[in-house]
Chain A
Amino acid sequence: MSKLWFDVAHLLAGGMLVLSFALLYQDRIAAVINVFALQAVALSLSVAWQALVQGAPHLMVTAAIALIVKGFVIPTALHHIIRRMQIHREVEEVIGSGLTMLTGLGLVALSILLVQPVGEVSIYVREDLAFALAVILLGLLMMITRRNAVTQVVGFMSLENGLVLAATGAKGMPLVVEISVAFSILIAFIVFGIFVFRIRERFDTVDVRALDRFRGERRDVS
């Protein structure tokens, strides 16, 4: 394995992680979507690089799916949604951005700690796993710290980016799995989209707290 190979893989995977942080930093929904698109592009580059190095052409399909669906189709659709609903304003956060980022750093440290004892695999696989786990955890973090349904969708899809990164790093998952994952994401996106519209129609907001209020779970509206 040459050094350059490793460096480029490191660069791309690390770039995805950085973009995950950028997602947490952004405070406008349009910017969040753009960063997400960028992350998808980074993912597809990373997967394509793996395909090249591992000599696994089917990974190219994955890369193409990531690029087209998540890099272009979904962001365009999301932009469309926020334009139609006029919610391209600031992201509503549950806790402050600074604290979220500190928590995120802690999660990255945690994922490095978790992956470190995984033995008997080569060093780049472990590295990929560490990055992927971190991206997944950051996606989860984004989902729990944002109130807006659109940002939650983005968090979910960023989480899925992490999953794909993990899978490709671990020497290829079968194409069938890939495609089914990709489709499940698409379906999830559609479900979320409808969901968002339904919340919007019913409560005139996309703040998910509206659902809590509807279920009578939360009396105080903080």
Chain B
Amino acid sequence: MPGIDLPAATGLWCVPGFLCLAGVAAAVGQRKLATPLIYGGSLALALVALGAALTCFLQPGPPWTLALPIGLPGIGARFRVDALSAFFLVVVNLGAAITSLYALGYGRHEEAPARVLPFYAAFLAGMNLVIFADDAFTYLLAWEFMSLASWAIVLARHRDPANSRAAFLYLVMASFGTLCLLLGFGLLAGPAGGYAFETIRRVSHTPFAATLAVVLALLGAGSKAGLVPLHVWLPLAHPAAPSHVSALLSGVMTKVGVYGFTRIVLDLAGPPNPWFGLTVLTLGGITAAIGVLYALMQHDLKRLLAYHTVENIGIIFIGLGLALAFRANGIKVAAALALTAALFHVFNHSVFKSLLFFGAGAVLTAAGERDMERLGGLIHRMPQTTVAFLIGCAAISALPPLNGFVSEWLTFQAILVSPDLPQWGLKLTVPAAGALLALSAALAAACFVKAFGVTFLGRPRSAAAKAAMEVDTFSLTAMFLLAAICFLAGVLPGFVIDALSPLTAMLTGGTMPHQAALPWMSIAPIAESRSSYNGLIILTFLIASGSVTAMAIHRFATRATRRSAIWDCGFPLDAPQTQYGSASFSMPIRRVFGTVVFSVFERVDMPRPGELRAGSFRMRIIDPAWRLAYGPIARGVASISLILNQLQFLTIRRYLTLVVCTLIALLLLVATWR
């Protein structure tokens, strides 16, 4: 067994590689050749890193560590690759590689490549480094580097005021997240200041410190991942970037947030308390439902996808919460099942969300439009993009036999084990979370029927949509690669589950049963007598029964077909605006959940009979997070700063008085504290 030294070191070397690439991009960004050079270089490096990560991931062994004498004195910079980081490295670099491939085609349409290219490579370096980091200092440095690099890309099209506002909001939230993580690591390191993860892992934390650290990790990593109510920046910032970067932000960077949470809570913070599980689970359920409901209300294709990321993060956190709850109660197999479900969904979501953002990017290139109310009928103009996008839609809607279904099915299976939990609060909460999960899965299907149906089906709603052209080969290859992964992971999930088992053994102490041993390549989370699923057989049956039926009918009945005008109950209307659009499609759901979830303001101006002016209907939906959480904070900050503003106009004597008073107060505090 050669061990994982070489691949892990190779993977780490890719980080300086990306940084060099960023330097090159900064130097030559204006040239025409820069775009293929940088994206080609990123593709090559990401492929190397992906190969290295896959080798580490598929070859379970003792973790690889490295300490470099750079960074803070006494700590240095430590790096480590274990099963968890190897898995996330696979996710990050797979996303990075395919995104670079896509960008080889898509990036040509970029107006200001010099504003994107350097930060793109730096962003990839940052994400990799976060996962390699093995001490708090390196981790936070890499985290902040990643945040700033991505912030710069979000700001790439700064002329649009909406974009710069989104970037500002992102910066504020990212700083808040880093602050929380900083405090959390400080608590975990304790007064002795052992910032290396190795030390943190060995020290036993007081329950108070552990709880507080978990809460801070939830806030810090959750703000990056997009947990409700910390998600508000996400649907604004992710779509603001160029589409391939949106794919990275939504598909990959949110997963780095999930990695941060998993690392801190499941690995570093010591044995969990069951109530952590309850909190995470509840937040996850709410996040899933809110995310998908707001996704349904969007008319901007990219913003719809970004809101939908929030939903998927919710699903992942439901899995993580279950894993925490089971682990706290020593139910190891179930904890392994829940963790596998969450991580499988991490992988799946990174794949299909990237695919969908690529599709949205392709639509944007082809039609120059991302408002769904002005799209439609693209299936005739962009047939290949349509197929790839459709596969992505079906996968994210958790439809068998694709991959999204498998991870949600595993989450459901973990939920079904919940009656074994001894805590009554958990027993009663888990079914509720399950109901929320089912609700969000069904709403996701509605959401993507809308996204696909309005964008690609029907008749074009604008001249631009009518004139759209199919996109380039690079983009199509990238999309079809991802679509193929969706199929493979859905049909042969057993391999993914088996590959995750060293990871679950490390974090929960348990593993799921060995899946490759089951007949016919089916999967069974706990035992075959309890539940099992076989994507391969389902797919075979679907293809067989569908095609046999079609052939039989064509052969023995008739295959005569005639084209004619639309019937539409005998009264077809020519104007494409009479089709169901985005707003009309989601109206019933808006009405049903309206009072509870949305703050909808509708203004209908209906001219009276005989009046000749046009009628109008305006609707505004405000995310309740703004009203309930951020509004009061913003008002509070404003009023406090108004008060503190007076401090700017004092005499020197008064300033000195203030300083002395503060000093005395602090000294008093120290004196009484002892």
Q: Do A and B touch (CB < 8 Å)?
A: yes
When distances are taken between beta carbons in the complex, the residues of chain A under 8 Å from B531 are none
Q: Is the CB of A113 within 8 A of B424?
A: yes
Residue from B428, B595, B596 in contact with A113 in the complex, judged by beta carbons closer than 8 Å:
B428
Q: Cβ of B595: which chain A residues have Cβ within 8 Å of it? A: 96, 99
**What secondary structure prevails in chain B residues at the interface with A?**
helix
Are B596 and A99 within 8 A (Cβ)?
Answer: yes
A-B contact pairs, 10 of them (CB 8 A): A96-B595, A99-B595, A99-B596, A109-B428, A112-B424, A112-B428, A113-B424, A113-B425, A113-B428, A116-B424
- Residue on A with the closest CB to B428? A109
8 additional contacts (CB under 8 A) given A113-B424, A113-B428: A96-B595, A99-B595, A99-B596, A109-B428, A112-B424, A112-B428, A113-B425, A116-B424
**Which residues from A are CB-within-8-Å of B424?**
112-113, 116
Q: Which of B595-643 contact A (CB under 8 A)?
A: 595-596
Residue of A nearest to B425 (CB): A113
CA distance A112 to B596 in the complex (A): 25
- Kindly identify, within residues 544 to 591 of chain B, every residue whose CB is under 8 Å from any CB belonging to chain A: none
Count B interface residues, CB 8 Å: 5
What residue in chain A is nearest B431 (Cβ atoms)?
A: A109
* Bound form: Cα–Cα A54–B425 in Å: 33
Interface string of A59-85 (1 = CB under 8 A from B): 000000000000000000000000000
Complex Cα spacing A112 to B425, Å:
10
Chain A residues in 8 Å Cβ range of B596: 99
Beta-carbon nearest neighbor of B596 in chain A: A99
Kindly state the separation between the CA atoms of A112 and B423 in the bound complex, as whole angstroms.
Answer: 12
B residues less than 8 Å from A96 (CB atoms): 595
Say how far B614's CB is from chain A's closest CB, in angstroms: 33
- B290 vs chain A, min Cβ distance (A): 16
Whole-angstrom CA separation of A113 from B428 in the bound complex: 9
> Which chain B residues border A109 with CB–CB below 8 Å?
428
A99, B424: Cα distance in complex, Å: 24
Return chain B residues, CB-CB under 8 Å to A99: 595-596
Q: Mark A86-124, 1 if CB is under 8 A from B, else 0.
A: 000000000010010000000001001100100000000
User: What 1/0 flags go to B408-426 for Cβ under 8 Å of A?
Assistant: 0000000000000000110
Q: Which residue of B lies closest to A114 (CB)?
A: B424
- In the complex, what distance in Å separates the CA atom of A96 from the CA atom of B425? 27
**In the complex, what distance in Å separates the CA atom of A116 from the CA atom of B425?**
11
Write the nearest CB–CB distance from A100 to chain B, whole angstroms.
12
In the complex, A99→B428 CA distance in Å?
19
Closest-by-CB residue of B relative to A109 is: B428
Chain A min CB distance to B281 (Å): 15
Q: In whole angstroms, how far apart are the Cα atoms of A165 and B595 in the complex?
A: 36
Contacts of B425 in A (CB 8 A): 113
Complex Cα gap A112–B595 (Å): 28
- Which residues does chain B contribute within 8 Å of A116, judged by CB atoms? 424
CA–CA, A113 to B424, complex, Å?
Answer: 6
8 Å CB contacts to A: which residues of B376-429? 424-425, 428
Please report the C-alpha to C-alpha distance between residue A137 and residue B298 in the assembled complex, in whole angstroms: 39
Identify the closest chain A residue to B595 (Cβ): A96
Alpha-carbon separation in the docked complex, A96 to B596 (Å)? 10
Instruction: Give 1 or 0 for each of A9-20: 1 = CB within 8 Å of chain B CB.
Output: 000000000000
A113 to B432, CA, bound (A): 15
B95-154 contacts to A (CB < 8 Å): none
Q: By CB atoms of chain B within 10 A, which of A96, A99, A109, A113 has the most?
A: A109
How far does the Cβ of A152 sit from chain B's closest Cβ, in whole Å? 23
Give Cα distance in the complex from A113 to B596, angstroms: 25
Report the bound CA distance from A15 to B425 in whole Å.
Answer: 24
Cα distance, A96 to B595, chains bound together (Å): 9
Cα A99 to Cα B594 in complex, Å, equals 12
- CA separation between A136 and B347, bound complex, in Å? 48
What 1/0 mask marks residues of chain A from 34 to 65 whose CB sits below 8 Å from any chain B CB?
00000000000000000000000000000000
CB of A117 to closest CB in B, whole Å? 8
Contacts of B428 in A (CB 8 A): 109, 112-113
Provide the residues of chain B in CB contact with A113, threshold 8 Å. Answer: 424-425, 428
State the CA gap A109–B425 with chains docked (Å): 9
Please give the distance in Å from A137's CB to the nearest CB on chain B.
Answer: 15
Q: Give B375 Cβ to nearest chain A Cβ, in Å.
A: 34
Name the distance in Å between B425's Cβ and chain A's nearest Cβ: 7
The smallest C-beta distance from B424 to any residue of chain A, in angstroms, reads: 5
A72 smallest CB distance to B (angstroms): 37
**CB of B427, distance to nearest CB on chain A (Å):** 9
Given the complex of chains A and B, what is the CA–CA distance between A112 and B424 in angstroms? 9
* Closest beta carbon of chain B to A153's beta carbon, Å: 28
B329, chain A: closest CB distance, angstroms: 17
Report the bound CA distance from A113 to B427 in whole Å: 10
B-contact 0/1 string along A188-222, CB 8 Å cutoff:
00000000000000000000000000000000000
What residue in chain B is nearest A105 (Cβ atoms)? B432
Distance of A18 Cα from B424 Cα, bound (Å): 22
Q: Which 4 A-B pairs have the closest CB atoms?
A: A109-B428, A116-B424, A113-B424, A96-B595
Q: Which residue of B lies closest to A110 (CB)?
A: B428
B450 to chain A, nearest CB (A): 23
Cβ distance A57 to chain B, nearest Cβ, rounded Å: 37
Q: B residues within 8 A CB of A112?
A: 424, 428
Q: How far is the CA of A209 from the CA of B266 in the complex (A)?
A: 54
The residue in chain A whose Cβ has the minimal distance to the Cβ of B429 is: A109
Distance (Å) between the CB of B519 and the closest chain A CB? 38
Whole-angstrom distance from the CB of B438 to the nearest CB of chain A?
A: 15
Most buried by A among B424, B425, B595: B424
Report Cα–Cα, A96/B591, bound state, in Å: 13
User: Which A residue sits closest to B593, measured CB to CB?
Assistant: A98
Closest Cβ of chain B to A104, distance in Å, is 14
Tell me the minimal C-beta distance from A55 to chain B in angstroms: 33
In the bound assembly, the distance between CA atoms of A113 and B595 in angstroms comes to 28
CB proximity of A49 to chain B, nearest CB, Å: 27
User: What is the CB-to-nearest-CB distance from A29 to chain B, in angstroms, rounded to a whole number?
Assistant: 24
Min distance, Cβ B280 to any Cβ of chain A, angstroms: 19
Query: For the complex, what is the distance from the CA of A109 to the CA of B595, rounded to whole Å?
Result: 23
Complex-state Cα separation, A3 to B496, whole angstroms = 45
The answer for the CA separation of A77 and B596 in the assembled complex, in Å, is 38
Q: How far is the CA of A146 from the CA of B596 in the complex (A)?
A: 19
Name B435's closest neighbour in chain A (CB-CB).
Answer: A105
Give Cα A113–Cα B423 distance, bound, in whole angstroms.
10
Shortest CB distance B594–A (Å): 10
Q: How far is the CA of A56 from the CA of B424 in the complex (A)?
A: 34
User: Which of B428, B595, B596 is the most central at the interface, judged by chain A CB atoms within 10 Å of its CB?
Assistant: B428
Q: How far is the CB of B428 from chain A (nearest CB, A)?
A: 5
Question: What separation, in Å, do the CA atoms of A109 and B428 have in the docked complex?
Answer: 7
* Alpha-carbon gap, A195 to B494, bound state (A): 69
